[in-house]
């Protein structure tokens, strides 16, 4: 790889939906990047507020911006639209209520150039508008992983790098990784369905310790809501984790036990949320969600029983048949 690659085009894909209050700061952080060879793709995903008009105003001010208006397809559908028309050698996603430091793309591209990686992953900071100013953290250090090493991190929810690896935003990808991969439309946790496949196609993954992506926390952020009813739709996470386990079984069998253990952990976490409701047995939606969780885990427990260690065989068996007892014994609280 030579220094000319630093001048290669980066396609920045920004899904936009009803974010009129935050969109300006997001776009300002992108058009102000120190790395200037960009195409900025704004996908207005059927916004009903003034977000679409804001996109048009920015397009009139910056020739690097193109705006696509489409009927609502959700975050995954908006990303896929951007991927389909992207011309850059690299792709970068940012959610339209978030923002980044102005040196983000330059730093990530420099890491790819320096390490010959196919992905450069940055860290992120939670941003609370009413509490603190955004501060970029530069450590100057990074790690290089093979595909197998990076995938093993997906099994370890306690590792600080896991969220940064899983999420689409905040990572600079070589576009070739998306040649036969798109995000599943109409599903929550779309990143969880896709990231392991992207990583498996990369010869190297560079993970920076620098934090320059600001993930905004506000009342509309789904990640900030953990009440029982709001979490029912997130049970689809099990479909993603189960797809990952199947993928590991076929391609990375040494990682399968960790993937199945992850399913058990998430099952208990969701069980914890739903059973906090005092009258959950009288709530038909929550009662069905609890049954769904246990049923899903039971299926994969027996499918992959042979790869589990003794501890997971015992604890998983208890959860399958006596989830209430397991939950009380484990004492695990749901958190992200």
pLDDT of residue 22: 95
Surface-to-core class of residue 275, CB atoms within 10 Å of its CB (0-12 exposed, 13-18 middle, 19+ buried) = middle
Q: How far apart (Å, rounded) are the C-alpha atoms in residues 229 and 194?
A: 26
Q: For 238-285, write each residue's pLDDT tens digit.
A: 889 989 999 999 999 999 988 988 888 888 777 777 776 555 566 777
pLDDT of residue 226: 54
Q: For 2-30, write each residue's pLDDT tens digit.
A: 445 446 899 999 999 999 999 999 999 99
pLDDT of residue 335: 33
3-state DSSP assignment of residue 36: coil
What domains are there in the chain, each with its CATH number? 3-222 (3.90.550.10), 225-330 (no CATH)
Which residues, given as ranges, of the chain have pLDDT below 70?
1-7, 130-137, 157-158, 218-231, 233, 276-282, 327, 330-336
Q: What is the pTM of this model?
A: 0.88
pLDDT of residue 331: 57
The DSSP element (H or E) to which 209 belongs, if any, is: strand 205-216
């Amino acid at each position: 790889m030579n220094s000319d690659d630093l001048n290669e085009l980066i396609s920045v894909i920004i899904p936009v939906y009803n974010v009129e209050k935050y969109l300006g700061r997001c776009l300002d952080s992108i058009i102000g990047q120190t790395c200037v060879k960009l195409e900025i793709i704004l996908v207005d995903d059927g916004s009903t507020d003034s977000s679409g008009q804001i996109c048009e105003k920015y397009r009139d001010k910056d020739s690097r911006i193109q705006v696509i208006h489409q009927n609502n397809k959700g975050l995954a559908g908006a990303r896929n639209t951007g991927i389909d028309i992207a011309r850059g050698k690299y792709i970068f996603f940012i959610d339209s209520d978030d923002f980044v430091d102005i040196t983000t793309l330059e730093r990530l591209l420099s890491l790819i150039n320096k390490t010959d990686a196919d992905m450069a992953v940055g860290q992120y900071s939670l941003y609370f508008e009413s509490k603190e100013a955004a501060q970029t953290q530069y450590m100057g250090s990074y790690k290089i992983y093979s595909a197998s090493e990076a995938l093993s991190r997906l099994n370890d929810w306690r590792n600080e790098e896991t969220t940064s690896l899983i999420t689409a935003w905040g990572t600079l990808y070589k576009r070739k990784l998306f040649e036969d991969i798109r995000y599943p439309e109409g599903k929550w946790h779309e990143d969880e369905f896709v990231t392991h496949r992207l990583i498996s196609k990369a010869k190297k993954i560079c993970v920076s310790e620098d934090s320059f992506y600001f993930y905004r926390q506000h009342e509309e952020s789904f990640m900030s809501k953990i009440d029982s009813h709001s979490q029912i739709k997130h049970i689809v996470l099990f479909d993603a984790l189960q797809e990952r386990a199947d993928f590991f079984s076929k391609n990375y069998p040494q990682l399968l036990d960790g993937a199945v253990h992850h399913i058990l952990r998430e099952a208990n976490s969701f069980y914890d949320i739903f059973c906090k409701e005092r009258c959950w047995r009288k709530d038909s939606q929550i009662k069905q969600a609890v049954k769904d969780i246990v049923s899903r885990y039971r299926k994969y427990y027996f499918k992959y029983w042979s790869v589990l260690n003794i501890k997971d065989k015992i604890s998983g068996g208890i959860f399958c048949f006596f989830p209430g007892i397991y939950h009380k014994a484990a004492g695990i609280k749901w958190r992200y």
